[in-house]
Amino acid sequence: MRTVRMVTAIPKALAMELREKKRIINFNTLPQLHPKLIDSIKKYFEEVVGYHDSPIACLSRVGHKDSTIKSIGASVCDFIPVKANDSVVLELNMPEDCIVSIGYEDLLNFSRDLTDCNGDRVAENDTLAYFLDFLSVGLGDGCSDTISFVPFIEMEKCQFFAILDNSFGMADFNLPGVEQVSLHELNTFI
């Protein structure tokens, strides 16, 4: 099974939990999405991938496909939406069959569509049924705005991490067995 390099950002408090428990599950990295959409992704994970935990959003590329957050350092150009202060960026390797992907713009559009349903259950069910057709296991169709979801984050799958604090420097924090890198600036948040 092919492994894919993924990047996500989580609050520093959750990274501390990862350090203690070695695994994070059921953390919503995209709280701006309609809750029924998150539930639908979770159900897709259960039925197709076999995991029942809430999905954690990730990006499957950092700058260039073959780059790592260590090798591109300050030129990191894509991140999950997150408040930069007191967050940790993680790079992890995940089996491709544990990844579910969709175009980010499609995801946002479906979230807006569900909000526009105003509680109309028939319209919501139709929207969610159509939404499932856009999800795929793996990295999807390779569109430029692909966002992916993983069922968990495990310490042993993490390769690098960076602390995002006010100075974007090396903060006093460690994840045993995971190399810390410094990110001096972020160019873009999507």
**Token pair recorded at residue 55:** 């999905």
Residues 6+ apart with CB under 8 A from 101: 60, 135, 136, 137, 138, 139, 140, 146, 147, 148, 149
Whether the Cβ atoms of residue 76 and residue 62 lie closer than 8 Å to each other: yes
Provide block-wise average pLDDT over 10 residues at a time, the chain (190 residues).
84 90 89 92 93 83 50 44 68 90 93 95 96 91 80 90 66 79 49
Evaluate whether residue 46 is within a structural domain: yes
pLDDT for position 181: 77
Instruction: Please report whether residue 71 resides in a domain.
Output: no
Q: Would you say residue 139 lies in a domain? A: yes
Instruction: State residue 99's pLDDT score.
Output: 92
In the numeric block, the tokens 């430029």 are attached to: 144
The alpha carbon dihedral of 123, 126, 131, 132 has a sign of positive
With respect to residue 165, please indicate whether it lies within any of the assigned structural domains.
Answer: no
Examine residue 175 and state whether it is found in any structural domain, yes or no: no
Give dist(CA 141, CA 129) in Å, integer: 19
Helices then strands, counting H and E runs in the chain, come out as 5, 10
Residues 6+ apart with CB under 8 A from 16: 173
| Residue 118 is assigned to a structural domain of this protein | yes
Q: What was the pLDDT predicted at 165?
A: 66
* 48 token code pair: 């197709």
Does 73 map to a domain? no
pLDDT for res 188: 38
Give the chain's domain count: 1
What are 93's strand-pairing partners? 5
pLDDT at 159: 86
In this prediction, residue 64 carries a pLDDT of: 44
Helix (H) or strand (E) holding 20: helix 12-21
Six token digits for residue 15: 């990274």
CB burial readout 25-55, b (16+ within 10 A) else e: eebebbeebbebbbebbbebbeeebebebbb
* Residue ranges making up the domain that contains 32: 3-66+88-155
CA distances for 6 relative to 20, 58, 89, angstroms: 22, 6, 10
Residue 168 lies in a domain: no
